[in-house]
């Protein structure tokens, strides 16, 4: 457990539980409007959920004070030697592409689809990826 995690309201909530609730909300929107939520609607659902669950960090994580240890197309990664764990932060509004999408859909993955992929990753590879919260991008990183 991370030092900042124990005081977070969502600490201990399994990733699968977050994803199930977010998917339930998407399905409710789909029933009301008669079609799947758009990318922007899913982003809105995710942001509202994050606000409701107090998932926004009020201060930057300690790892983010230094340059990342690695980065990819959609994220940066910091390694924590003392806990043998990684902290991964996605680029703002970049959550990869959907594996399958309908012709009328945006091919970009929403934050909800991104978390769904991490659940599949946990199931398939036996990992223990957890979701600890949302960090607002204020553009203040100097690296």
In a domain, 79, yes or no: yes
> Rounded to an integer, what distance in angstroms lies between the CA atom of residue 8 and that of residue 49?
15
In a domain, 133, yes or no: no
pLDDT at 140: 44
In a domain, 3, yes or no: no
pLDDT at 20: 96
> Rounded to an integer, what distance in angstroms lies between the CA atom of residue 129 and that of residue 14?
9
pLDDT at 59: 78
H helix or E strand, kind and range, residue 54: none
In a domain, 140, yes or no: no
In a domain, 48, yes or no: yes
In a domain, 134, yes or no: no
In a domain, 116, yes or no: yes
In a domain, 8, yes or no: no
pLDDT at 83: 82
Pairing of strands 75-80, 70-71: antiparallel
pLDDT at 102: 66
Nearest of 78, 57, 60 to residue 69 by alpha carbon: 78
pLDDT at 10: 59
Q: pLDDT of the chain along its 143 residues, tens only?
A: 445 444 455 556 899 999 999 999 999 999 999 988 988 999 999 999 999 998 888 777 888 889 999 998 888 999 988 888 888 888 877 888 777 666 766 778 889 998 998 899 999 999 888 888 888 765 444 33
| Total domains, the chain | 1
pLDDT at 36: 85
> Rounded to an integer, what distance in angstroms lies between the CA atom of residue 37 and that of residue 102?
12
Range of the domain at 82: 15-125
> Rounded to an integer, what distance in angstroms lies between the CA atom of residue 117 and that of residue 19?
10
pLDDT at 85: 83
Q: Are 57 and 48 in contact (CB under 8 A)?
A: no
H helix or E strand, kind and range, residue 77: strand 75-80
pLDDT at 60: 77
Q: In the block, which residue shows the tokens 């982003």? A: 43
Read off the pTM: 0.79
């Amino acid at each position: 457990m991370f030092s900042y995690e124990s005081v977070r309201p969502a600490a201990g909530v399994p990733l699968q539980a977050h994803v199930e609730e977010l998917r339930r909300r998407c399905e409710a929107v789909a029933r009301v409007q008669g079609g799947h939520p758009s990318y922007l609607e899913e982003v809105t659902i995710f942001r509202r959920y994050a606000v409701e669950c107090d998932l926004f960090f009020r201060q930057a994580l300690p790892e983010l004070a230094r340059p990342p240890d690695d980065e990819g197309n959609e994220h940066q990664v910091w390694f924590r030697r003392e806990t043998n764990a990684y902290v991964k932060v996605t680029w703002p509004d970049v959550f990869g592409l959907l594996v399958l999408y309908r012709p009328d859909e945006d091919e970009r993955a929403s934050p909800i689809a991104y978390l769904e992929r991490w659940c599949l990753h946990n199931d398939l590879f036996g990992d223990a990826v957890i979701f600890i919260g949302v960090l607002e991008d204020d553009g203040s990183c100097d690296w």
